Amino acid sequence: MNSTPRLKLFLMMVLEFFIWGAWLPLIFGYLPSLKFEVWQQQAILAAFPVASIVGMFFSNEFADRKFAAEKFLAFSHLVGGLAILGCGLTQSFWPFFACMSVHCLLYVPTISITNSIAFANMKDPANEFGLIRMGGTIGWILAAWPFTFIFVDWDIVNKANPAGFVDWLGKALSSPLTGDAAKAATRWTYIVSGLASLALAMLSLALPHTPPKKSTGGGTAWSQAFGLLKHPFVAILWLVTFIDSFVHNCYFNWTGVFLGTPKADGGVGIAANWIQPVMSIGQVAEILTMFILGATLKTLGWRTTMIVGILGHAARFAVYSFVPDSAALIILIQVLHGICYAFFFATVYIFVDAYFPKDIRSSAQGLFNLQILGVGALVANYVCPILIQQTFHVGDKTNFKGLFLVPLAASVAAAVALALFFHPPRQLSANAGGGSAPAH
């Protein structure tokens, strides 16, 4: 690849995941702070996965067959960016729900479309995608760290009158907002996300032209993508992807709350302004993992690489369950997020590009995003609030050990299913992607 298109694709991924990473980690604690009822929280959290399901049948079809992908991306981020800005300007349920719904309907399909734009402009996806997609990881990290300062109680810092930059920085990092003030500051996550979305809308117009492709198999792109589920190896991967998505979303639903809950109540007791940076450690590890993803795939093959990614979840939730009083270990175990994401989800995207027809590129990515961002997330976002606020909530405390055993068991089951039943053919199909791919 020429270095200029590669840089543009890299920046596209940075902004794409900055947008999502700015608001997602804190929304699970923010919605209850707005006094939204459980069903209202579930409705808002359902907007993202429902948008993934809807996008599978409409947005991805348009990007495959009707419009240049980069123009579709620009429109989606322009309107979606204005919508997420609206979430930062209201604390009433119906306006918040409406803005979030519009944003998600336009944003979620762009995750498949950015993948498609990237793959369409690569010569060697197995080696190049990890490096391009690493931009998304960096974007997620960049979205976390500014809030370390947004969640600072500046009144305390100013009254301390620190001398010099080092003293000022130390005082700022040790003076987090608490209580209602911390909750109120969370609205800035949506404003920052919206500004990033508008920036990506402008960048999209400078991306490599990725025109729609004519059908080579008849029927709609999404129907052809679903038709590939007749192959057992595709069907089992699709089902395992659902389980892994559920487990992945359990992590986002519960980790922020777990980290911020005082130790006396069974949590880790991390200050509000450090929760997102701690969770971003996994994204830092993800950068390193992306660097070695291509080599790992060639060495271990599809199945083993994915199994390692799934078992990363099991190890992390095992630490949450059985060593909850070790803050240092819980912070350290965040590094497994890189393995969880890169070795499973990123590998799935590369696998889809290698095995699926190119004229349904966006819809093929959307088929698996239907599970990753849609059904798996929808089930998790419905079940997780009930489990943490009702099922495993005893008195005024949460039974975190029992709570985390649920995704632990699910991830182990998914790894076993993949080991026993996922056997892709050694030869790529005639109309699948170019280039060689790991066969085992």
Kindly tell me the sign of the dihedral angle through the C-alpha atoms of 171, 172, 178, 180: positive
- At residue 427 the predicted structure's pLDDT band, cuts being 50, 70 and 90, is low
Does residue 238 lie within any of the structural domains?
yes
Retrieve residue 260's tokens. 């911020």
- At residue 235 the predicted structure's pLDDT band, cuts being 50, 70 and 90, is very high
Mean pLDDT for the stretch of residues 298-322: 95
Distance CA 225, CA 223 (A): 5
Does residue 435 lie within any of the structural domains?
no
pLDDT digits (tens, 9 = 90+) for 206-229: 998 888 766 565 667 778 888 889
Residue 219's pLDDT is what? 67
Does residue 127 lie within any of the structural domains?
yes
Q: How far is CA 132 from CA 117, 172, 224, 248, in A?
A: 11, 34, 27, 22
- At residue 408 the predicted structure's pLDDT band, cuts being 50, 70 and 90, is very high
215-219, 264-268, 301-305 — most confident range:
301-305
Number of other residues whose CB lies within 10 A of the CB of residue 156 = 14
Does residue 145 lie within any of the structural domains?
yes
Coil, helix or strand at residue 407: helix
Residue 61 lies in domain: 3-421
Mean pLDDT for the stretch of residues 409-429: 87
- Report the DSSP beta bridge partners of residue 398: 393
Say yes or no to pLDDT of 285 above 90.
no
Taking phi first (over 0 means left), then psi (-120 to 50 degrees means alpha), and beta for anything else, what does residue 266 get?
A: left
What is the phi/psi pair of residue 379, to 5°?
-65, -45
Retrieve residue 226's tokens. 């679903």
Distance CA 415, CA 325 (A): 28
Does residue 426 lie within any of the structural domains?
no
Say yes or no to pLDDT of 421 above 90.
yes
Residue 330's pLDDT is what? 94
Say yes or no to pLDDT of 433 above 50.
no
88-92, 370-374, 411-415 — most confident range:
411-415
Mean pLDDT for the stretch of residues 31-52: 88
* CB environment 408-431: b (16+ within 10 A), e (fewer): bebbbebbebbeeebebeeebeee
For residue 67, how far is the Cα from the chain centroid? 26
Does residue 357 lie within any of the structural domains?
yes
Residue 434's pLDDT is what? 40
Residue 439's pLDDT is what? 43
Does residue 440 lie within any of the structural domains?
no
Mean pLDDT for the stretch of residues 272-295: 83
Average pLDDT, the chain: 86
Distance CA 439, CA 435 (A): 12
Residue 81's pLDDT is what? 97
* CB environment 143-154: b (16+ within 10 A), e (fewer): bbeebbebbbbe
How many domains does the chain divide into?
Answer: 1
CATH number at residue 27: 1.20.1250.20
For residue 275, how far is the Cα from the chain centroid? 17
Q: Distance between terminal CA atoms of the chain?
A: 27
The model carries a pTM of 0.74
Residue 284's pLDDT is what? 81
pLDDT digits (tens, 9 = 90+) for 192-203: 999 999 999 999
Comparing 84 with 278, which gets the higher pLDDT? Answer: 84
**128 Cβ contact partners less than 8 Å away, ≥ 6 residues apart:** 1, 6, 122, 294
Does residue 194 lie within any of the structural domains?
yes
